[in-house]
Homo-oligomer: A and B are copies of this chain.
Amino acid sequence: MLLGLSILGSASGQPGRAPFKAMNPATGLELDPPFHSASPEEVDQAVRRARAAAPLFAACDGARRAALLRAIARELELDAAELVPRVMAETALPEGRVRGELDRTCFQLRLFATVADEGSWVDARLDTPDPARHPLPRPDLRSMLRPLGPVAVFGASNFPLAFSVAGGDTASALAGGCPVVVKAHPLHPGSSERVGRAISRAVAETGLPQDVFSLLFDAGHQVGAALVQHPGIRAVGFTGSFRGGQALLGLASARSTPIPVYAEMGSGNPVVMLEHALSSRPEAIAQTLAASITQGVGQFCTCPGLILAVEGSGLQRFRDALAAALATVAPAPMLGEGLARAYRDGIERLKADPSVHGHLSSPSSGSLGAPAFLETNGAQLILHPELAEEIFGPGTLLVACRDDRELEACLQSLPGQLTATLWMEPGDLGLATRLLPHLQELAGRVLFNGAPTGVEVGHAMVHGGPWPATSAPHATSVGTLAIRRWARPVCFQNVPEALLPPELHHANPLGLWRQVDGAFGKH
């Protein structure tokens, strides 16, 4: 039973303001009920409540936060029978994908629970005092990461579960001890409400202040803007377009107290195919990439939108195989008509470039997105770097290079990326070794002989990268390292141990991995 109202911690939003409905992209039909946009007063209330709950939440131990995250996962699983069909209706994503995403979301919540529970992520450091040191005594110094305070999270259109209300940003912020205020994505408000209510139930079960979580609806952009500008918000997590991320960054840096915006803004995800790989298995590579390009109708941040290789017989076989593989994929509904239109416009813009010719671009209309396969050459890409800009959807641009040097120059001309992929065989080792530093410099994740989609959730994952892929290259939005975004180090000098958090007690009661006088250990 959906209410269509924002969740303001323990209170509820009021109906009336700018109501909007979700639409089923597969049928074009509106879905009940109407959702009511949060008023400026409601935004303020949500943040004030988060602010008031922040000290208590920051003081509660990792085990308690872990219990909350596990309870959220449990509540989501209990709601699956109603949640999954609603997500499918709002996104036109197939059931398998939605169930898989729900599994991933719950896995992610439980992974952050283990991180909060174990506790060493706070990077505790103790420097032993030395009262006898000359000329001055050495003080007792202890430092650890402490939560920033209330975090604003923006739901993403393309991952209604894993990057939305209970997605990676929320999971990592709650694990780190920060209250969360989510701005729901307007393309899947019903899914957002269901997940938001699951979180609220989990908060209640865990006995935490209800105000550590709020969920705000909005038909437009006012709520998000008000949230980022609110003095009570201390950091922002966002996954979406470059324009959206830029807008939030502008608001955040114009505040009287600027705050960090962790914006993951998209990427062309270049795939480089080297000679021996291309000549030995062009069809297999084409199959893998075709599946990656069209998976989820291309609506992944890591969709391979750019393929680079040196001209030759291997590339010709690849070209034919990729065109053939993509031609078998029927147009499918994207997450909304706006996204589908933007995709088609992007493809048309590319095709209008005199250097670009099309191998495949079937017509589509409404919310449908059809695979597209275009081509240009290396010299043109270097001259016109805008050709490499991300087009969100199931399209890719092949860049045929004259030789290895042009290929290398192409890589050096690209802007920052989430991923960079290299296909190689042992015979390519020399060139692979030469290109690897460029790939590292280009992207947050470098992968060999695979497809960039399918971002693994783990400890070593980096889903980030240099500008403009993200606004904060030192951070990741997937993987356990993501928790660091919501914390900052605080040093305590000569503070009586009784007043310090247990993470910094001399006897190490929580059994953390720490640095004592610079030496790592469980001490």
Interface, chain A (partner B; CB < 8 A):
55, 58-59, 100, 114-115, 118, 120, 123, 125-127, 135-136, 138-139, 141-143, 146, 148-149, 253, 257-260, 415-416, 432-433, 436-437, 440-441, 443-450, 454, 456, 458-462, 464, 466-468, 471, 473-474, 476, 479-481, 484, 487-496, 499, 513, 515, 517-518, 520, 522
Contact = CB atoms under 8 A, between A and B. Distances in A.
Given A139-B447, A464-B488, A474-B488, 12 more contacts: A125-B481, A127-B456, A136-B454, A141-B458, A257-B466, A443-B490, A444-B490, A446-B493, A448-B493, A460-B515, A462-B489, A462-B491
Contacts of A260: 474
Given A127-B456, A253-B253, A450-B139, A489 B466 contact: no
A135 B100 CA distance: 10
A520 B456 CA distance: 20
A99 to B, nearest CB: 11
A141 B461 contact: yes
Given A127-B458, A518-B459, A447 B493 contact: yes
A82 to B, nearest CB: 24
Nearest to A145: B474
* Top-6 shortest CB links A-B: A447-B493, A462-B491, A125-B460, A141-B460, A513-B520, A445-B491
Contacts of A471: 258
B474 A487 contact: yes
B141 A499 contact: no
Contacts of A55: 437
A484 B473 CA distance: 12
Given A416-B257, A488-B474, A450 B120 contact: no
A414 to B, nearest CB: 12
Nearest to A472: B260
A55 B433 CA distance: 13
Contact of A450 (B259, B445, B481, B493): B493
A184 to B, nearest CB: 27
Contact of A494 (B450, B474, B484, B517): B450
**Considering residues A100, A493, A496, which has the most beta carbons from chain B within 10 angstroms of its beta carbon?**
A493
B461 A127 contact: yes
A515 B459 contact: yes
A459 B125 contact: yes
Nearest to A441: B149
Nearest to A489: B462
A114 B459 contact: no
B432 A499 contact: yes
Contact of A520 (B120, B446, B468, B488): B120
A472 to B, nearest CB: 8
A125 B491 CA distance: 26
Given A446-B490, A456-B139, A473-B488, A146 B440 contact: yes
Contacts of A149: 441
A80 to B, nearest CB: 18
A37 B461 CA distance: 46
Contacts of A450: 139, 493-494
Contacts of A449: 494
